[in-house]
Amino acid sequence: MAADEFWATIPTDLPDVGSGEQPQRLGNGDGSKAGFTLKPDDRRGDQPPPQEEGQPLEPLEIFSIADFAGKPVPEQEFLDARHMFPARNVTLLQGDGGTGKSLLAMQLCMAVVSRSTWLGISVRHGGALYVSAEDDKTQNHIRAAEIAQAEGLDLASMSSFRIACLAGKDATLATEDRKGRLSVTSLFKRLELTLANVKPQIVVLDNLADVFGGNEISRSQAKQFIGMLRGLAIRFDCCILLLGHPSLTGLNSGSGTSGSTGWSNSVRSRLYLYKPTDENADEKVRALEIMKSNYGPRGDPTNLKWDMGRFICTDKPERAGADIGKADRAQRVFMKLMRAGLEHGQTYSPSISARTYPPSQFAASNEREGINKREFERAMHLLQDKGDIKTVVRHPGTSREKTLLVIANENG
């Protein structure tokens, strides 16, 4: 089928994979089901219609924090158990050409629709949409068949995995207007209609250079484009995975960044797929690293290797029972390091982005006794739950106001 025909012929009712059950949805964060009603003025991501001259201004839509009182605290949801793909958000996966971004993304989509795992990681199940602007239908067929054969999957059962091949066509979702601002294209609006029909858990946009028609080094345009995609992720209750290439500077520095810092700053999660720098490393070896995570820990890189047409994780699983007593040890070491720091005048912040965030500081200590940052984070949460440590506000209502993490029975 031609690419132009695809968008207009998506059926409104798609069967779930194999079981006949409805796909598990991420929901709206309040336990309700997602519902979609497209309006003519509601098809621009999170960008409102332009304000007409002379039209009266409306105040911002606001709510009171008191509305939270007495309600259960919602948990941040993720597509995966490793917390790489936050729900209703945009994740940026960057990697040099030929490292295998498209292959890895297709493996993820196939895991979501086939109720299997991705690199040994549990993922939510449902539909998937892959917008392929770099590879044609033949290449996608080859890639999918190789993954299915290697993983023992049945392609015939994956009717809820949809692909739009736009290779050789204009795949631009937003372009720069004469005033230097972004405007959505008709393809963006067709994508919205497709999302309303397919209702996927995961949407892959391959690749940033093809779908973004603005100035890549413009921070404001990068932020605006990610905002448009975030609007889609929120409205259609899905994760959006945007693939991109790093700049030469990003490659040389090992950061994997590209163009403006606005790209990394605007997404809530950024991943980097790269070949190890060791000159003796196997050409089939890759590493997948979480370079930014607003809602979870970064952790150690996941080591991968190309095998029989797909990537496999080569990290050794922990021995059964190897973690017995480790949680208690992590809490003991956490308290030891925190107490020592407080005695020397150190303060600690509960904010994951703060320089004084305890798990980050303790993981770099020579006294950490083999505990890593992720384990320190789990220990911190457990200690908070037990009431051994707590947050306090110092100098409230003044310019010196600070939220600190303290030992409960020693700091009142």
Q: What is the pLDDT of residues 45-84, one digit of tens each?
A: 444 445 556 678 999 999 999 999 998 888 889 999 899 9
Residue 281 predicted with pLDDT over 50: yes
Strands, E assignment, 111-268: 127-132, 161-165, 174-176, 182-184, 200-206, 212-213, 239-244
Place of tokens 């303790």: 362
pLDDT at 229: 98
Token code pair at residue 13: 């009712």
SS3 247: coil
C-alpha to C-alpha distance for 378 and 155, rounded to whole angstroms: 39
pLDDT at 163: 98
Other beta carbons less than 10 A from residue 149's beta carbon: 13
Look at residue 221 and tell me whether its pLDDT is greater than 60: yes
- pLDDT tier, 374 (very low <50, low <70, confident <90, very high otherwise): confident
317-350 pLDDT, tens digit per residue, is 655 444 556 678 889 999 999 999 999 999 999 8
The residues, ordered by sequence, that sit 6+ positions from 237 with a Cβ below 8 Å of its Cβ are 25, 26, 27, 28, 34, 87, 88, 199
Q: Is the pLDDT of residue 24 over 50?
A: no
pLDDT at residue 239 in the model: 97
Residue 43 binned pLDDT confidence (cut-offs 50, 70, 90):
very low
pLDDT bin (cut points 50, 70, 90) of residue 17 is very low
Residue 261 predicted with pLDDT over 90: no
| Averaged confidence pLDDT in the chain | 84
Is 113 in contact with 161 (CB distance < 8 Å)? yes
Distance CA(2)–CA(9), nearest Å, equals 11
DSSP string, 370-386: T--HHHHHHHHHHHHHH
What is residue 352's three-state secondary structure? coil
Q: Tell me whether strands 161-165 and 127-132 are parallel, antiparallel or unpaired.
A: parallel
pLDDT at 50: 52
- The predicted model gives 136-164 an average pLDDT of 96
pLDDT over 70, % of the chain? 82
Q: How confident is the model at residue 407 (pLDDT cuts 50, 70, 90)?
A: very high
- Mean pLDDT for the stretch of residues 273-278: 85
Closest-CA residue to 3 (of 144, 170, 127): 170
Determine the pLDDT at residue 51: 55
Report helix, strand or coil for 172. Answer: coil
CA–centroid distance for 262 within its chain: 16
Question: What is the widest separation between alpha-carbon atoms in the chain?
Answer: 70
Lowest mean pLDDT among 24-28, 364-368, 388-392: 24-28
Query: At 223, is the secondary structure helix, strand, or coil?
Result: helix
pLDDT of residue 105: 98
- Across residues 154-161, what is the average pLDDT? 96
Among 98-102, 381-385, 386-390, name the one with the lowest average pLDDT.
381-385
Other beta carbons within 10 Å of 382:
16
